[in-house]
Structure 1
Amino acid sequence: MSDLALFGGEPALREPVEMTWPLISDADVARVADAARRGEISYDASEGFVAELEGVFRARLGRPYALATSSGTAALHSAFFGLSLGRGDEVLAPTYTYLATVMPIVACNATPVLVDAEPDTGNIDLDDAERHVTPRTRAMVVTHLSGHPVDMERVVRFARRHGLKVVEDCSQAHGAASAGAEVGTRGDVAAFSLQGRKLVPAGEGGMLATSDTDVYERAVMLGHFAARSEQEVHTPRRVPFAKLGYGLNYRMHPLGAALALGQIERLDQHLDWRAATFAAYDELLRETPGFAPAPRQAHVTRHGGYSYQPLYDPAAWGGLPRSVFIEALRAEGVPATVPSSPPLHREAFFTHADTGIETFAVPQDRHLYRAGELPASEAYVASAWRLPAYPQPLSAEKLAGFAEAFRKVAAGADDLRRYGEIGAVR
């Protein structure tokens, strides 16, 4: 039997590699504490830290409008609402994404039409999207999954050809760029999450960005009634309704904005650190038989660094199940994981006629999805695995430990296959 830790050998990494995120500085703490002490804990309009954070996003993205929200989900709902989507409208959406990308479409009484995934990145497959376009299709949403940006030049061409509006879900890709253009700058409207795991964490929060006055005013009226709506809604037919707005409170908490300000100041540094970690992973995996680096398409000029996701090929390991492969890596001290959520078309909402949310105008004749209907997304979930996106570069000693773990697992593949076969029999 080999010296694999799974079989009692010494782990390649004797101590776990700690991962701390977010990285909170003393200045971050002081800014938040000072605001709390002086009672700056609620705003009625765009003011204080919220106004400052919105200004940073406007400047970075080169867009005239930025609207801070209580969450990335609220930003996405505001984006779809801003596009005036409603009953009878269809929106192309990736099946492999977080639910918040898609379910706000339902909250607008529009219909999400799920599209298969690219086999290498998990992002929306524009070739598959072609077959889903109908006369009712009005918009599409793309998610820059795990920090790998979608090819936005292709997206824009696709949308123009079909007369569609484009929503960018940038929640996992702050600062990422495709063909030199930062995410959030090419679509009609973009949404960012500022939740605690994201690259610009506020604890909870979101940001909408757009160059479209109509989208912006509708988004303001949806979730920022009274003071802000009265100040910022100028279209004559909307002005009489600005004070009441549409009744939702999507305002961002001032203390979250205060925290996010320091984080976005350091975003480029954090991206550079994660890029160094990812480059080290690439080199180690490339040098080890059976392993391959995480895919990166040619149009990517900057990865968002949210997650490092290589693909597992059982054929390269003689049919070794991915579960055993991950078990062996974890025993060596490498905290490898696999995706935990299925594509959305396998969730009950998309497979059952009775959704339990009758208040929304879910079409009675809507399409119900079956297993295998969007096969590339299912294959992607079955093959992807993850290494931690450590926010700071790993030491040479830790990288050597990772390299040794990969080497040991590759060298012990035969023993791992026998172990997997025994487990299957059990």
Structure 2
Amino acid sequence: MTRLALLGGQPLLTPAERPVWPHITEKDIEAVTALLRRGEISYNGSEGEVRALEDGYRQRLGVVHALAVNSGTSALHSAFFGLDLRPGDEVIAPAYTFLATAMPVFACNGVPVLADVDPDTGILDPDGLAAHLTPRTRAVVVTHLMGFPADMERITDFACEHGLAVVEDCSQAHGAACSGRPVGRHGDVAAFSLQAKKQVTAGEGGILVTDDRRIYERAVLLGHCLDRGEEDVTSEEYGGYGRTGFGLNYRIHPVGSALARGALSRLDTVLEGREKNCDRLGAPLRDIPGITPPVRQAHVDRVAHYVSYQPLYAAEELGGLPIDVFTAAARAEGVPLTRPTSPPLHREAAFRSASWHPGTYHPGDSTYRRYRGDEFPGVDAYLSRVLRLPVYSEERGDLMDAWAEGIRKVVDNAGELHDRYAAGALTVQDPARTAQH
């Protein structure tokens, strides 16, 4: 039983069922059914389930304004539009994040300027921000990656010193907190995604939150009109434009709002379950060579584990055993270990091609950044050793213990595994991976 399955032995575990998500309750079904029976399938203003969802975020976060929209991407677009970016304005963004963190900057005729991340967390590194400052820099956008909060105190201090706005991309971090406050309360404006994988889900949807009235009115103008525009756009600067807005429709669906409102009411229970599982798995991993739990930095008050638990691999502790060989061996034992597949932004064509000019603003080479693909050592270091395991919301201590034992079995046999691979007696194809943004 000690021989690795990858080398002809018996697997230690029977692969477990994947986590069931989202959790749709009978109460959710009743709320949706009631909407359908009343014929409430669209709103022009902030009313009904949409108003209730927005109120839920206002109350939970203690913000002045909340705006429900049809996706997290729309929430980010609305946030950047709310900042009133002008052609050529630059927004510093993490090089490793989901594309929607940065791409809407192009739609606002701005220029995303990519910055490196912390090699231990994959999150925007405050120490690297100053290197990207230019006279055109207007804002910083930061992602709370996989539910781990960025160091918002240092980032906002930097932004304040240089007169920059801060956008928080909280899409993967509902319920997370740092430096004494929930994420979404540290910057000038924040965006949450309500996509199906998120901790709070509408199927598709998003929430923008801010205390800044001007940002809020501009966000409403971008994606709303008619009743909502006339109700909420009342300032002397924009009050005459509420009825038409900018002609876009970013409204969230009432059915999605009802689902998200139910999920928001259960958020703390979900996060507590995920935290118990991750703590249960992390405890034995601290004593197993070659793999360590995700780094939880001092500023983090609460992690809102997203779809993956992400330990870090240390090949040097296992004689240089390649990470893909380690991953394949663990999977053969029944441990569903994967690696990220989504490439960092600086390796995407939009940030490398000289011929692609997004939006209506066509910046010259001096402002529109193009990258070779090797500029960010923090990104490379992080991606070279980060692993992923599924996150369960219901308590699964037995499964966490089993995964730890499967990983320990691979580590105990790492010498033989390394020798067989080095001798060419073992071929490992690219292991099954999962894109989990």
Q: TM-score range by the shorter chain?
A: over 0.9
Cα offset, 1:185, TM superposition: 0.5
Counterpart residue type for residue 104 of structure 1: P
Write the mapping of 1:64-143 to structure 2, written as runs, cut at 5 A.
Answer: 64-143=64-143
Provide the C-alpha distance between the structure 1 equivalents of 2:358 and 2:151, rounded to a whole number of angstroms.
35
Cα offset, 1:358, TM superposition: 6.0
Cα offset, 1:8, TM superposition: 2.9
Q: Tell me the alpha carbon deviations over residues 346-384 of structure 1, each in whole angstroms, 9 at most, x when there is no partner.
A: 111111111164644344432321122111112211211
Partner of 1:353: 354
Cα offset, 1:418, TM superposition: 2.8
Counterpart residue type for residue 393 of structure 2: P
Q: Tell me the alpha carbon deviations over residues 13-60 of structure 1, each in whole angstroms, 9 at most, x when there is no partner.
A: 224243101111110111112212321111111011000000000001
Partner of 1:243: 243
Cα offset, 1:169, TM superposition: 0.2
Partner of 2:374: 372
Write the mapping of 1:172-191 to structure 2, written as runs, cut at 5 A.
Answer: 172-191=172-191
Cα offset, 1:186, TM superposition: 1.0
Partner of 2:203: 203
Q: Tell me the alpha carbon deviations over residues 259-313 of structure 1, each in whole angstroms, 9 at most, x when there is no partner.
A: 0111000101111001001101111211222221111101111001113111111
Cα offset, 1:194, TM superposition: 0.3
Conservation of the 8 A alpha-carbon contact between 1:342 and 1:378: no
Partner of 1:407: 408
Conservation of the 8 A alpha-carbon contact between 1:343 and 1:378: no
**Structure 2 SS opposite 1:131:** helix
Write the mapping of 1:293-312 to structure 2, written as runs, cut at 5 A.
Answer: 293-306=293-306, 307-312=308-313
Provide the C-alpha distance between the structure 2 equivalents of 1:214 and 1:64, rounded to a whole number of angstroms.
12
Cα offset, 1:247, TM superposition: 0.9
**Structure 1 SS opposite 2:270:** helix
Conservation of the 8 A alpha-carbon contact between 2:290 and 2:316: no
Partner of 2:316: 315
Conservation of the 8 A alpha-carbon contact between 1:61 and 1:184: yes
Q: Give the count of matched residue pairs.
A: 425
TM-score (norm 2): 0.94
Conservation of the 8 A alpha-carbon contact between 1:321 and 1:420: no
Provide the C-alpha distance between the structure 1 equivalents of 2:59 and 2:160, rounded to a whole number of angstroms.
26
Counterpart residue type for residue 317 of structure 1: L
**Structure 2 SS opposite 1:172:** coil
Conservation of the 8 A alpha-carbon contact between 1:195 and 1:202: yes
Q: 1:182 to 1:97 in 2, by over 3 A?
A: same
Counterpart residue type for residue 348 of structure 2: E
Provide the C-alpha distance between the structure 1 equivalents of 2:376 and 2:288, rounded to a whole number of angstroms.
32
Conservation of the 8 A alpha-carbon contact between 1:142 and 1:167: yes
Q: Tell me the alpha carbon deviations over residues 289-348 of structure 1, each in whole angstroms, 9 at most, x when there is no partner.
A: 222111110111100111311111111111111111111111111111111112101111
**Structure 2 SS opposite 1:256:** helix
Range with greater deviation from structure 2 (90-99 or 280-289): 280-289
Provide the C-alpha distance between the structure 2 equivalents of 1:232 and 1:241, rounded to a whole number of angstroms.
11
Partner of 1:382: 384
Conservation of the 8 A alpha-carbon contact between 2:76 and 2:101: yes
Cα RMSD for the two superposed structures: 1.6
Cα offset, 1:165, TM superposition: 0.4
TM-score (norm 1): 0.96
Conservation of the 8 A alpha-carbon contact between 2:94 and 2:141: yes
Range with greater deviation from structure 2 (316-325 or 215-224): 316-325
Write the mapping of 1:202-351 to structure 2, written as runs, cut at 5 A.
Answer: 202-306=202-306, 307-351=308-352
Provide the C-alpha distance between the structure 2 equivalents of 1:419 and 1:174, rounded to a whole number of angstroms.
45
Range with greater deviation from structure 2 (236-245 or 154-163): 236-245
Provide the C-alpha distance between the structure 2 equivalents of 1:81 and 1:358, rounded to a whole number of angstroms.
13
Cα offset, 1:77, TM superposition: 0.2
Range with greater deviation from structure 2 (269-278 or 2-11): 2-11
Cα offset, 1:214, TM superposition: 0.2
**Structure 1 SS opposite 2:56:** helix
Partner of 2:432: none
Conservation of the 8 A alpha-carbon contact between 2:93 and 2:114: yes
Unpaired runs of at least 5, structure 2:
430-437
Partner of 2:41: 41
Provide the C-alpha distance between the structure 2 equivalents of 1:191 and 1:358, rounded to a whole number of angstroms.
22
Counterpart residue type for residue 369 of structure 1: Y
Percent pairwise identity: 52
Provide the C-alpha distance between the structure 1 equivalents of 2:335 and 2:395, rounded to a whole number of angstroms.
16
Provide the C-alpha distance between the structure 2 equivalents of 1:400 and 1:288, rounded to a whole number of angstroms.
13
Q: Tell me the alpha carbon deviations over residues 218-248 of structure 1, each in whole angstroms, 9 at most, x when there is no partner.
A: 0000001111101111112322222111111
Q: Tell me the alpha carbon deviations over residues 66-89 of structure 1, each in whole angstroms, 9 at most, x when there is no partner.
A: 000000000000000001012021
**Structure 1 SS opposite 2:309:** coil
Conservation of the 8 A alpha-carbon contact between 1:106 and 1:362: no
Range with greater deviation from structure 2 (290-299 or 69-78): 290-299
